[in-house]
């Protein structure tokens, strides 16, 4: 495993290579960010957002947490969402989970007494598990059950985004963003698109805002 000094050395090499290839790269990058995508992904070190879609610096605004959750009481995530939608005016929001997710697998099992804070976070995934328990537990292996919960979790987060006043206001006033739910495969490096929601897609009335003129 690399040491911190080795990471700093690699940073210098990376910077030098980019400046040699495009001398004005960092000057242009420092002036303004204009990403078209907000990426909400898992914190797993094996799923680096820019790398798996071959994106360049500045192309994606990124938020990551355990098991790519969109929780309406998480002000960190909501602040990122609001800034991306209202200030950066992004056109697409991607929630990307991944097969073999440790957070999802943990939610399939009993809680560990030594992970008090993590348990609270995983409770949201357990609620999704509960809603689809019969379907999930009908699958033959733990890996199959985990992979299906990964998919269901991503779909649930896309709906959670559509239930925010931030997204509903942007749909009403700006006809954006489009919401995308994806799952990345650790074994083949490919993305499986599961769900897309956009302005014209219906939101369950119980989650609709009567007045979304203010966020």
Which residues carry out catalysis? 42, 44, 46, 98, 101
Q: Which of 83, 53, 81, 52 is closest to 65 using CA atoms?
A: 81
Strands 37-42 vs 178-184: parallel, antiparallel or unpaired: unpaired
Q: Which of 63, 67, 77 is closest to 167 using CA atoms?
A: 77
**DSSP state, residue 163:** T
Strands (E) located in the chain? 37-42, 60-65, 92-98, 178-184, 191-197
Q: Looking at beta carbons, which pairs linking 43-51 to residues 24 or more positions away fall under 8 Å?
A: 44/98, 44/101, 44/102, 46/98, 46/186, 47/96, 47/98, 47/184, 47/186, 49/96
> What order do you get walking across the sheet with 191-197 strand by strand?
60-65, 37-42, 92-98, 178-184, 191-197
Query: How many C-beta atoms surround the C-beta of residue 203 within 10 A?
Result: 15
Burial class of residue 61 (count of CB atoms within 10 Å of its CB; 0-12, 13-18, 19+): buried
């Amino acid at each position: 495993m690399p040491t911190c000094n080795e990471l700093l050395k690699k940073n210098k090499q990376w910077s030098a290579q980019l400046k040699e290839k495009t001398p004005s790269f960092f000057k242009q990058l420092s002036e303004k960010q204009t990403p078209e995508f907000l990426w909400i992904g898992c914190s797993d070190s094996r799923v680096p957002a820019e790398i798996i879609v071959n994106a360049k610096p500045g192309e994606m605004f990124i938020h990551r947490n355990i098991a790519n959750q969109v929780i309406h009481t998480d002000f960190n995530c909501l602040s990122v969402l609001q800034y991306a939608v209202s200030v950066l005016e992004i056109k697409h929001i991607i929630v990307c989970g991944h097969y073999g997710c440790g957070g999802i697998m943990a939610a399939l099992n009993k809680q560990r007494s030594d992970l008090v804070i993590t348990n609270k976070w995983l409770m949201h995934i357990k609620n999704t598990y509960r809603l689809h328990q019969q379907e999930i537990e009908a699958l033959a292996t733990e890996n199959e059950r985990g992979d299906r919960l990964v998919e269901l979790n991503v779909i649930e987060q896309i709906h959670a985004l559509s239930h925010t006043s931030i997204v509903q206001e942007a749909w009403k006033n700006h006809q954006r963003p489009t919401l995308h739910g994806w799952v990345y495969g650790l074994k083949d490096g490919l993305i499986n698109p599961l769900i897309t929601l956009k302005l014209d897609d219906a939101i369950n009335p119980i989650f609709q805002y009567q007045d979304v003129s203010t966020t």
